[in-house]
């Protein structure tokens, strides 16, 4: 096969949840640059509009699909309606998620419940709704955004660590159930990347020095460095890759 047919995404349509900003937006932009139509999702319609405008400005074909990924009824109705009215969703990137920091012995129960609902439950809700259509077609790509905290832990984020470990094992379970239907389901696990949500940590000189010393690559990652891995997992180049968690972390998970 030619390289462009292995890794090009022309003719594909990709839904990226939580793509109104941050890593989700950058992944949507990268998929668009690889030739895919992209579906911008966020709970905030204004963020959807803003992100869609930016992508349309660079020539991308963009669809807008704001909805709450934590509501299973809404998820199912929105996905079914899109498939009926606009066409197939060939690629799903489950990116929506949140972080909340507190000592574990003081972690609020309501924050724990919502973190799990957004970080874990939504992956199941959206994947189930999309996979029901993919299975009928006998093909599809699902990429679940994991984290270095899938494999590691740090103080004050134990529930987040638990949620990302759950996403990784849910990814393996999805592959076990759905690979026989022609789907590839994998996880993409970012390390420490510069985004709007990590700007305070980036500005913290002590933390940045710690991270640079702890990471074999010696630096923060740039979100553009996640795009290639996402394109690979979205493309025909990963046709026999299933249930894998791909760490893009500068080596932090392999070094002590």
DSSP 192: S
Tokens of 156: 């004050």
Query: Does residue 1 register a pLDDT over 70?
Result: no
* Residues 169-180, mean pLDDT to the nearest whole number: 98
* Residues 234-245, mean pLDDT to the nearest whole number: 98
Domain ranges of the chain: 3-247
**Burial level of 198, CB count in 10 A (0-12/13-18/19+)?**
middle
pLDDT at 2: 77
57-66, 77-86, 192-201, 205-214: range with lowest mean pLDDT: 192-201
Cβ-count burial 67-81 (b if 16+ within 10 Å, e if not) = bbbbbbeebbebbee
Instruction: Count H helices and E strands in the chain, helices first.
Output: 10, 9
Tokens of 202: 């980036």
- Checking phi first, is residue 143 left (phi over 0); if not, alpha (psi -120 to 50) or beta? beta
**Cα(224)–Cα(228) distance, integer angstroms:** 8
Q: What are phi and psi of 213, to 5 degrees?
A: -75, -30
Catalytic residue from among 100, 125, 160, 192? 160
Q: What is the pTM of this model?
A: 0.96
Tell me the CA distances in angstroms from 121 to 38, 70, 96, 163, 219, one per residue in order: 23, 7, 11, 9, 32
Annotation says 160 is catalytic:
yes
Over residues 78-95, the pLDDT tens digits come to 999 999 999 999 999 999
- CATH of 3-247, picked from 3.40.190.80, 3.40.1360.10, 3.40.630.30, 3.40.50.720, is 3.40.50.720
Tokens of 145: 């955004």
* Residues 68-74, mean pLDDT to the nearest whole number: 98
* Residues 23-37, mean pLDDT to the nearest whole number: 97
pLDDT at 79: 98
Over residues 89-124, the pLDDT tens digits come to 999 999 999 999 999 999 999 999 999 999 999 999
């Amino acid at each position: 096969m030619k390289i462009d047919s292995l890794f090009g995404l022309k003719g594909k349509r990709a839904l990226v949840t939580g793509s109104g900003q941050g890593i989700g937006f950058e992944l949507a932009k990268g998929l668009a640059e690889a030739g895919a139509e992209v579906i911008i999702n966020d709970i905030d319609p204004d963020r959807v509009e803003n992100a869609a405008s930016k992508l349309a400005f660079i020539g991308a074909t963009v669809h807008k699909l704001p909805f709450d990924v934590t509501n299973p009824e809404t998820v199912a109705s929105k996905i079914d309606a899109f498939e009926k009215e606009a066409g197939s969703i060939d690629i799903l990137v489950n990116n929506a998620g949140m972080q909340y920091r507190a000592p574990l012995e003081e972690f609020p129960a309501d924050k724990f419940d919502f973190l799990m609902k957004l970080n874990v439950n939504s992956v199941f809700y959206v994947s189930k709704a999309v996979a029901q259509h993919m299975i009928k077609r006998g093909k599809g790509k699902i990429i679940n955004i994991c984290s270095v905290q899938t494999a590691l832990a740090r103080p004050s984020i134990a529930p987040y660590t638990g949620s990302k470990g759950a996403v990784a094992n849910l990814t393996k379970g999805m592959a076990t159930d759905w690979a026989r239907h022609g789907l590839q389901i994998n996880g993409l696990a970012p390390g420490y990347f510069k985004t709007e949500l990590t700007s305070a940590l980036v500005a913290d000189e002590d933390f940045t020095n710690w991270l640079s010393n702890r990471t074999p690559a010696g630096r923060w990652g740039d979100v553009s460095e996640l795009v290639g891995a996402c394109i690979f997992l979205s493309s025909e180049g990963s046709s026999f890759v299933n249930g894998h968690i791909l760490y893009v972390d500068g080596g932090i998970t392999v070094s002590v």
